[in-house]
């Protein structure tokens, strides 16, 4: 162990010669021996009674007595060792040094506290005897110094000048420098508080104070809490609160501060306060100093600390911990608990406070959450779009299929009647004609069965020509297919079986009853970039405003709708004109050429 | 036999006339007509024994000719290009029809049959029956005409327990215990009666589900009818029969 000296150098030990030490031990053991006398007496009488009862021989008796005596002497020697150890000197603050019981434990010396720069606190709860020594540098005007010693606040010596006759030269810790020193006194400190005050008359305000605390430091107590809402009659404390109790506090918008009031003690300054967030186990507040003024109890200013409300970020449980703060104190946490006051504070906040970093975290989380939600929504939208796209595709496909279905529906009625017509040619022995029409019929059927999406206008012309010739065989009308020279029929393509249904309508509803007078005109025309296809007949016409004008027109309209579904952009436009003099359908394929 | 030919297409008329002249010499073509009005007039004028009637005539139908006639004391052979409107009713009425282009053998058979019928019974009842059927929606047929040797019978569909094939003939087993033999294949009746719920349980069996009592698991599935008869179910028909019976 090293001790810390004042003014000179830290850590020096005091050296005495051996005789001095022996005298010291003897001096210490005499009162101890006196104290042990009753035990010795009882011991001897017990031994004699026991011996007489047990008929032990005198020789043996002597041995036992000797052993016992040796034991007692050894014990008293140990006791004597517990006396002041002058070999070991502690710094005690200011110009003071101290020597204490050699076996004393739990010693904390020369503690300086915030706002108490001239006070040195020496904690000696297990010390019995204390010797206080004062050291002066040689250049100091010793006559100007005055000292006061208080024992438990009762003055023993007041403003005493230094008796220079008692000053001796001494080396502080083997230092070159020689100090003038004297022993201020030796005290029985157990259960007492000894306070020394030292000042120079040159500076009577600079009083060095040393406190030698010879009893356990009491646990701090919270006297109450106050919210600084001004009341006419000052503030009223809450009732005394047991540390086991949970203190519930509601901090409203109006409350800015919370004041924690501690009980009054002569050594308030040794206590420091911290507040722990029980959820995070983090210390959110620490204070080493107490404030005075404003809170008065029993005519005394009460020590208190003020907390800004923002210390408490969230509602929840907080722990107020008040304990002594010594710079050098070897103490186990378990022992420390004896000095520690703990209070649980259940805070309810009307408005939660967040620190910047917390806010950032929350903002980040919110952004993340929103981002995630956004991504999820985006994902679903995309999925839905994909589904829509797939549906569109499917729609297109079904449209195609349906178109195919309509396309392949070359009217069976026509087909079988056409065959019947060929049968008639055969029966009439018009074998050449029968061959011709049979070939046409075969080609027509082949074209219809051959499932192509697009065919050239030339192919369409052939198909219509075949078809109309077959129909001609049945009804004997006239027809023509016209197109301008500059329209390239081989290159221009149109959806297969586009015109056939319109032509069939013209035959069926237009001219079938007119016989040889009937006439059908088909024209392929170019109008700018559009392809215009027309089918006209000189039949009796029909009322286009009437619904259900035969299956044919309905089918045609369906076909146009389907084609627009497939090719998009409404590129197919159907116009129907009909009057009693005839019917004309015009099919425009926009931007086709 | 005096005949009137009705078709809106002249080539069909020519063709049919040529075929009749060549293959059915017992038929004399009294007149031809290309539209409904002409047809009605021709029939009233000539009072034919036999009428060849095209079903689809432009925008009109051959049935309209029949409707317009006050007396229908002649046999009709329908001629149609394609199985479509009305053909089902024609079949329920057990009337004859030809498909275009006309098959010569079918034509001969139809003419012969008509001749036999004319000799055996007073014509016209089947046409009345047909016109009645045409007035109703197609699925709600409740009776069927069965052509027997010398008579025509109109049987309620609910009276039929089952039909059984006998080569090209079909036996009808009726609820009152009567058994009728008809000279048409079971397939034709199966096609005709299936929309009315009849079950083809087997190649040679057609069953009215109303008379099914239970499904016996013996021999891989047998239907027990309320008449006590056991009708086999052939493997390929099992699932459809099962499904149909579950829906009842």
DSSP assignment string, A312-334: --SSEEEEEEEEE--SS----HH
Q: Is the pLDDT of residue A230 over 60?
A: no
| Residue A300: other Cβ atoms inside 10 A | 10
Share of chain B above pLDDT 70, in %: 98
Using CB atoms, pick whichever of B8, B14, B58 lies closest to residue A424: B14
Task: Give the least confident one: A38-42, A204-208, A341-345, A416-420.
Answer: A38-42
Q: Work out whether the CA dihedral B80, B86, B87, B91 comes out positive or negative.
A: negative
Instruction: State how far the Cα of A92 lies from the Cα of A347, in Å rounded to an integer.
Output: 43
User: Residues A373-396: what's their mean pLDDT?
Assistant: 88
Cβ pair B8:A420 closer than 8 A: no
Residue A196 has pLDDT above 50, yes or no: yes
Domain covering A408-589 in this structure, CATH number: 3.30.565.10
Residue A128 to residue A84: CA distance in whole angstroms: 9
Q: What are phi and psi of B215, to 5 degrees?
A: -105, 115
Average pLDDT over residues A239-243: 49
Query: Which residue pairs, CB below 8 angstroms and at least 24 apart, start in B184-189?
Result: B184/B147, B188/B91, B189/B163
The domain ranges of chain A are 17-83, 86-216, 222-349, 408-589
Q: In the numeric block, which tokens belong to residue A363?
A: 């903002």
pLDDT given at position B161: 94
Tell me, yes or no, if the two domains A86-216 and A222-349 fold the same way.
Answer: yes
Q: Which residue of A has its CA nearest to B22?
A: A427
Q: Tell me which of 3.40.190.10, 3.40.605.10, 2.40.50.1020, 2.40.340.10 is the CATH number of domain B153-247.
A: 2.40.50.1020
Nearest-CA distance B62 → chain A (Å)? 15
Which range is least confidently modeled, A135-149, B75-89, B186-200?
B75-89
Q: How far apart are the first and last CA of chain B?
A: 50
Average pLDDT over every residue of A27-56: 62
Return d(Cα B90, Cα B118) in angstroms, integer.
18
Which residues does B contribute to its contact with A (CB < 8 Å)?
A: 8-12, 14-15, 18-19, 22, 35, 56, 58-59, 81-82, 84, 99-102
pLDDT of residue B50: 94
Please answer yes or no on whether A421 and B8 come within 8 Å at the CB atom.
Answer: no
Q: Which of A46-60, A261-275, A306-320, A459-473 is the least confident region?
A: A46-60
Q: Which residue has the tokens 């392949």?
A: A408
Calculate how close chain A gets to B98, using CA atoms only, in Å. Answer: 12
Spatial distance between the Cα atoms of A521 and A481, rounded to a whole number of angstroms: 6
CA distance B54 to chain A (A): 11
Residue in chain A lying closest to B104 (CA): A423
| Distance from C-alpha of A348 to C-alpha of A253, rounded to nearest angstrom | 11
Q: Provide the whole-model pTM.
A: 0.50
Preferred mutation among B20, B38, B81, B98 to probe A, highest tally of A CBs within 10 A: B81
CA distance A111 to A217: 14
Instruction: Locate the chain B residue with the closest alpha carbon to A470.
Output: B11
Q: Which two tokens mark A54?
A: 């047990």
Whole-number percent of chain B with pLDDT over 90 = 47
Interface of A with B in 406-465 (CB under 8 A): 412-417, 419-425, 427-428
Q: Which CATH number fits domain B2-135: 3.10.20.30, 3.40.50.2300, 3.20.20.70, 2.40.37.10?
A: 3.40.50.2300
Do A182 and A145 touch, CB atoms closer than 8 A? no
Q: Does domain A86-216 have CATH number 3.90.1570?
A: no
Q: Thinking of the domain A222-349, which architecture would CATH place it in?
A: Sandwich (2.60)
The tens digit of pLDDT for each residue in A516-531 reads 888 999 999 998 888 9
The reported pLDDT for the residue numbered A6 is 42
- CA gap A402, A379 in Å, rounded: 33
Q: What is the mean pLDDT of residues A97-110?
A: 85
Q: Do A168 and A180 touch, CB atoms closer than 8 A?
A: yes
What confidence tier does A579 reach under pLDDT thresholds 50, 70, 90? Answer: confident
Q: What pLDDT sits at residue A546?
A: 62
pLDDT reported for residue A5: 41
pLDDT-based confidence at A16, cuts 50/70/90?
Answer: very low
How would residue B36 be classed by pLDDT, with cut points 50, 70 and 90? very high
Instruction: Look at residue A73 and tell me whether its pLDDT is greater than 80.
Output: no
Query: Which residue has better confidence, A451 or A293?
Result: A293
CA distance A476 to chain B (A): 9
pLDDT higher than threshold 50 for residue A10: no
Looking at beta carbons, which residues of chain A come within 8 Å of B9?
A: 417, 420-421, 474-475
Domain ranges across chain B: 2-135, 153-247
Whether residue B58 and residue A413 make contact (CB cut-off 8 A), yes or no, is no
Q: Which of A417, A471, A551 to mutate to test the interface with B (most CBs of B within 10 A)?
A: A417
Tell me the average pLDDT across B33-42. Answer: 93
Closest CA–CA distance from residue B14 to any residue of chain A (Å): 7
Look at A59-63, A310-314, B196-200 and tell me which has the smallest mean pLDDT: A59-63
Does the pLDDT at position A240 exceed 50?
Answer: no
**Which range has the top average pLDDT, A107-111, A565-569, B204-208?**
B204-208
Q: Of the ranges A252-256, A391-395, B8-12, which one carries the lowest mean pLDDT score?
A: A252-256
Picking from A142, A129, A264, the residue whose alpha carbon sits closest to that of residue A194 is A129
Task: Give percent of chain A above pLDDT 90.
Answer: 17
The token duo for A393 is 């595709």
| Highest averaged pLDDT of the listed ranges A8-17, B84-93, B110-119 | B110-119
Question: What values do phi and psi take at A450, rounded to 5?
Answer: -70, 110
Residue A321 pLDDT greater than 80, yes or no: yes
Output the CA–CA distances (angstroms, integers) from residue B229 to A64, B155, B214, in the order listed.
Answer: 129, 21, 11
Write the CA distances from A96 to A18, A101, A153, integer angstroms: 25, 17, 19
DSSP 3-state of A463: helix
pLDDT digits (tens, 9 = 90+) for A336-355: 888 898 888 888 887 766 67
Neighbouring C-beta atoms of residue A582, cutoff 10 Å = 19
């Amino acid at each position: 162990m090293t001790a810390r000296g004042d003014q000179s150098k830290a850590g020096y030990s005091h050296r005495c010669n051996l005789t001095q030490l022996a005298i010291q031990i003897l001096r210490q053991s005499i009162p101890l021996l006196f104290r042990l006398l009753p035990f010795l007496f009882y011991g001897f009488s017990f031994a004699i009674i026991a011996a007489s009862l047990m008929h032990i021989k005198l020789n043996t008796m002597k041995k036992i007595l000797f052993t016992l005596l040796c034991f007692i002497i050894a014990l008293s020697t140990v006791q004597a060792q517990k006396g002041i150890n002058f070999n070991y000197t502690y710094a005690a603050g200011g110009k003071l040094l101290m020597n204490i019981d050699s076996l004393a434990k739990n010693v904390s010396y020369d503690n300086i506290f915030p706002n108490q720069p001239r006070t040195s606190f020496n904690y000696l709860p297990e010390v019995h005897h204390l010797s206080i020594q004062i050291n002066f540098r040689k250049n100091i005007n010793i006559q100007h110094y005055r000292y006061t010693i208080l024992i438990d606040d009762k003055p023993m010596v007041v403003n005493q000048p230094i008796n220079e006759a008692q000053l001796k030269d001494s080396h502080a810790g083997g230092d070159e420098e020689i100090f003038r020193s004297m022993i201020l006194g030796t005290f029985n400190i157990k259960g007492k508080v000894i306070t020394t005050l030292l000042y120079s008359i040159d500076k009577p305000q600079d009083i060095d104070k040393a406190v030698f605390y010879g009893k356990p430091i009491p646990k701090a107590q919270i006297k109450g809490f106050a919210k600084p809402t001004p009341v006419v009659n000052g503030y009223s404390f809450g009732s005394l609160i047991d540390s086991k109790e949970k203190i519930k506090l509601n901090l409203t918008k109006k409350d800015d501060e919370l004041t924690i009031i501690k009980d009054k003690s002569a050594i308030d300054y040794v206590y420091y306060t911290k507040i722990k967030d029980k959820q995070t186990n983090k210390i959110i507040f620490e204070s080493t100093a107490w404030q005075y003024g404003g809170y008065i109890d029993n005519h005394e200013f009460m020590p208190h600390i003020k907390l800004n409300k923002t210390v408490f970020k969230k509602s929840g449980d907080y722990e107020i911990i008040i304990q002594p703060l010594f710079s050098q104190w070897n103490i186990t946490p378990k022992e420390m608990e004896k000095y520690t006051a703990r209070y649980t504070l259940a805070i309810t906040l009307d408005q939660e406070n967040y620190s910047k970093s917390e806010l950032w975290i929350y903002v980040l989380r919110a952004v993340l959450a929103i981002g995630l939600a956004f991504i999820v929504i985006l994902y679903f939208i995309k999925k839905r779009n994909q589904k829509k796209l797939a549906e569109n595709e499917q729609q297109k496909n079904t449209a195609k299929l349906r178109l195919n279905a309509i396309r392949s529906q070359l009217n069976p009625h026509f087909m079988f009647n056409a065959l019947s017509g060929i049968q008639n040619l055969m029966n009439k022995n018009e074998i050449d004609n029968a061959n011709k029409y049979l070939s046409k019929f075969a080609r027509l059927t082949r074209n219809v069965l051959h499932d192509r999406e697009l065919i050239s206008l030339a192919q369409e012309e052939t198909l219509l020509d075949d078809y109309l010739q077959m129909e001609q065989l049945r009804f004997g009308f006239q027809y023509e297919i016209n197109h301008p020279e500059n329209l390239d029929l081989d290159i221009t393509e149109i959806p297969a079986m586009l015109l056939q249904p319109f032509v069939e309508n013209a035959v069926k509803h237009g001219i079938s009853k007119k016989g040889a007078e009937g006439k059908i005109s088909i024209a392929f025309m170019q109008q700018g970039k559009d392809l215009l296809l027309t089918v006209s007949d000189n039949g009796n016409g029909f009322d286009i405003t009437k619904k259900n004008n035969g299956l044919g027109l309905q089918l045609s309209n369906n076909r146009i709708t389907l084609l627009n579904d497939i090719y998009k952009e409404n590129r197919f436009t159907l116009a129907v004109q009909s009057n009693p003099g005839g019917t004309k359908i015009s099919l425009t394929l926009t931007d086709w050429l | 036999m005096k005949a009137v030919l009705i078709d809106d297409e002249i080539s069909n008329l020519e063709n049919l006339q040529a075929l009749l002249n060549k293959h059915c010499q017992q038929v004399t073509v009294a007149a031809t007509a290309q539209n409904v009005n002409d047809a009605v007039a021709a029939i009233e004028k000539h009072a034919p024994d036999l009428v060849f009637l095209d079903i689809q005539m432009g925008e009109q139908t051959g049935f309209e000719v029949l409707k317009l006639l006050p007396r229908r004391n002649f046999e009709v052979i329908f001629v149609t290009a394609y199985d479509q409107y009305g053909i089902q009713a024609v079949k329920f009425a057990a009337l004859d029809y030809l498909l275009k282009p006309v098959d010569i053998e079918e034509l001969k058979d139809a003419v012969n049959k008509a001749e036999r019928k004319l000799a055996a019974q007073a014509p016209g009842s089947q046409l009345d029956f047909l016109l009645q059927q045409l007035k109703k929606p197609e699925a709600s047929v409740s009776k069927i005409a069965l052509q027997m040797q010398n008579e025509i019978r109109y049987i309620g569909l609910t009276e039929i327990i089952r039909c059984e094939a006998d080569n090209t003939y079909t036996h009808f087993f009726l609820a009152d215990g009567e058994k009728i033999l008809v000279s048409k294949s079971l397939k034709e009746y199966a096609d005709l009666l299936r929309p009315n719920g009849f079950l083809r349980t087997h190649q040679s069996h057609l069953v009215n589900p109303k008379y099914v009592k239970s499904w016996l698991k013996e021999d891989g599935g047998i239907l027990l009818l309320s008449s006590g008869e056991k009708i086999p179910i052939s493997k390929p028909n099992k699932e459809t029969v099962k499904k149909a019976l579950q829906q009842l």
